[in-house]
Amino acid sequence: MELREALDIATQIASALEAAHEAGITHRDIKPENVMIRPDGYVKVLDFGLAKLTERRGGEGETEGQRERGREEETLILLTDRTSSIPPSPNPAVPQSPLSTPGMLIGTVTYMSPEQARGLAVDARSDIFSLGVVLYEMLTGRVPFDGATTTDVLAAILHVEPQPLSRYCRQAPSELEINLAKALRKDHEARYQTVKSFLSDLRHIKSRLDFDAEFARFGHDATPRKSGEEISEALTVELRTGEVLSPSGRLHQKRISHQIESLAVLPMENASADAGMEYLSDGITESIINSLSQLPGLRVVPRSTVFGYKGRKSDPQKTGEELAVHAVLTGRVIQLGDSLIVKTELIDVARASQLWGEEYRRKLTDIFALQDEIAEEISQKLRLQLSGEDRERLRKRYTDNTEAYHLYLKGRYYVGKRTPEWIRKGVEHFQQAIDLDPNYALAYSGLAEAYGFLASSTGGQPPHDAYPLAKAAALKALELDDTLGEAHCSLGFFRMFYDWDFPAAETEFKRAIELSPNFANAYDGYGFYLKAVGQYEAAEQACKRAQELEPLSLFMTLSLGWVYYFARRYDEALAQSRKVLEMDPNFGFAYWHRGVVFIQQQNFTEAINAFRKALNLSGGIPTFIAYLGHASARAGKHREARQMLAQLESLSKRQYVSAYFFAMIHLGLGDLDQTFEWLEKAYEERSGFLAFVRVEPMLDRVKADARFAELLEQMES
């Protein structure tokens, strides 16, 4: 069939199935013989003889027993004259199966879903598979799963992947090939979950084909000498120059008159059949963000913010408005064998119009050139005035080893999950990338960040074990490339939380900001330094800048609350944590923050409630246990406080628990000897919490003690 005709029929079938599925009916026998087309092109789906009523709605007066029997029964509506068994078809290419009895198959074998072929329960997703088979046959003239016998066909449905659509239908766009492959996935969980989603994608492709046909007709009327191929090429050129075609086919000169100064690169969708390729779509997204972030005059929303949209079906224009950017880039990544397809679209948020759309096909080994080309084209579409140096930044590669690069992308993917188990997996992949390319600066920088996470209060690694490794990796990254702002930032955290060398930390954070002015973590790290040394006004400005760069980051938003806490501005601190909880009411660290503020306000009941909430949400982070113990002790509940001590002791036998946490509970109990004994142990283990001992309000009651001055002197020596 002609492509547009096949799509027209397929969308009508899908629309009919959508209505059936909404009524709780699964057809179970979608095939060409059950689709009729009227002379005016109107499609009807017929013969619901094998339909299954998947949801029974009881009427008025129906007893509970009747309703229960209705739920237990599998209702078959037999509207045809078929018998309970059907002899083999004389045409083995289209074998048929018997009707439904226990242990028997339901449907027509050639168009069966894998779950039907195995005699398992089916639902609406089975109809989606069958529709995919019909569409494949309409476009190629052959069925995707064939065989000489019924058994051969069943085996093909269960174990054989169909030939690529492009092999038989060269005019089919790659997007249709991807969508059809998704409809024909053998695992029903990986297939389209609703026919409505499949219908939406088919309609999108059909509308684009109709649009191209209308443009070709218009172009032919205006300039008869152009061939269809020339018209398509002309359309590409015109779109690249900013001209937009209206739906009616009239070409308007609508060039971009303003320079776009801010951009959000949304997480690219992994549209491959292999869910294990998620790291690749994430990695391409991050690489484009990193490249464009190097350009002056362009604000690029950081990875940690845009990845909050991962997996969400969001409107690009609305997302752009939420992120306060001028443009949004969306995309899909598909791996087909050793080929990589990336489809991109750049949206002007204010005008709700497409600035540019492109599809790239490359070998997996050409991933570097692919990313370079996308970044280069985006910069052109944004009308950025690039110098030769800027173009070099865009094209900069940190390795020429493709395998090492893929390992690096996997490392970033795992570290991004932010749990100790995944971070350790990320460390393994960074190290493997370094083994393949010992001069891979980015891999060392990623390794430094990963070890830094493991050394933090929630990372579960003793600082003595993890922070020196973070330092070594950061220094090696900077030895290879001193312009890596991220590595300077990691080194700044090491200088602050492990060395307690505050001047050195300040230098590193400032250098990170200088090199990566759009890197929110650098401002946040600088804010940590300013809090620790009591420069609260400057800390407030640094944290606000970090928050501007990552407006949806919970940690960045809460970081400003810690400024107010250390500055003893408790009402403002509570207001800031309230903003965080409006963004995410299940963010445990916001409740922890509220708890410590309530302690300073002598509101121990609310403090205990806040820490309990944090614990319930986190699953037992030692930090929250310790502060719950402190609050309980301050409220006079010494038994509960000692129970928290026992919990920490038990935990410490299985994982690292900072000595600082024990000190906090003993401080709440008023046992100052034990408090300083544990603070001394915290000093010996290089606990990062000691970076804030000069400004921590909870320690105000012991700062007059000579032992506190001794602790500070030890830290400064």
- Domains observed in the chain: 3-169 (1.10.510.10), 262-397 (3.40.50.10610), 586-717 (1.25.40.10)
Q: At what angle do helices 622-634 and 604-618 cross, to 10 degrees?
A: 160
Confidence check: pLDDT of 603 > 90: yes
Q: Which of 184-193, 590-599, 672-681 has the lowest mean pLDDT?
A: 184-193
Give the 3-state DSSP-derived string for 263-317, with helices as H, strands as E and coil as C: EEECCCEECCCCHHHHHHHHHHHHHHHHHHHCCCCCEECCHHHHHHHCCCCCCHH
Quote the pLDDT of residue 269.
87
67: burial class by Cβ within 10 Å (0-12, 13-18, 19+)? middle
What is d(CA 155, CA 112) in angstroms, rounded to the nearest whole number? 11
Region 93-116: what's the mean pLDDT? 62
Summarised one tens digit per residue, pLDDT across range 186-195 is 998 889 899 9
Quote the pLDDT of residue 333.
87
Residue 671 belongs to what H/E stretch? none
What is d(CA 497, CA 502) in angstroms, rounded to the nearest whole number? 9
For residues 273 and 303, the model is more confident at 303
Tokens of 30: 């979608």
For residues 568 and 88, the model is more confident at 568
Quote the pLDDT of residue 307.
81
Region 159-172: what's the mean pLDDT? 83
CA distances from 557 to 216, 300, 389, 492 (A): 52, 18, 35, 21
Region 703-711: what's the mean pLDDT? 95
Task: Report the chain's C-alpha Rg in angstroms.
Answer: 31
Q: Which of 368-377, 583-592, 703-712 has the lowest mean pLDDT?
A: 368-377
Task: For the chain, count helices (H), then strands (E).
Answer: 31, 12
Quote the pLDDT of residue 87.
37
Region 151-158: what's the mean pLDDT? 90
What is d(CA 319, CA 300) in angstroms, rounded to the nearest whole number? 14
Confidence check: pLDDT of 311 > 70: yes
Tokens of 713: 């002197």
Confidence check: pLDDT of 412 > 50: yes
User: For residue 711, which amino acid is it?
Assistant: L
Region 100-109: what's the mean pLDDT? 57
**Any idea which residue has 């509506």 for tokens?**
77
Tokens of 420: 């100790």
What is d(CA 454, CA 468) in angstroms, rounded to the nearest whole number? 12
Summarised one tens digit per residue, pLDDT across range 68-78 is 434 333 333 33
8 A C-beta contact, residue 449 and residue 494: no
**Terminus-to-terminus CA distance in the chain, angstroms?**
82
For residue 652, how many C-alpha atoms fall within 13 Å in the half-sphere facing its CB?
16
**How far is Cα of residue 676 from the mean position of the Cα atoms in its chain?**
44
Pairing relation of β-strands 327-336 and 299-300? unpaired
Pseudo-torsion of CA 688, 692, 696, 699, nearest 10°?
70
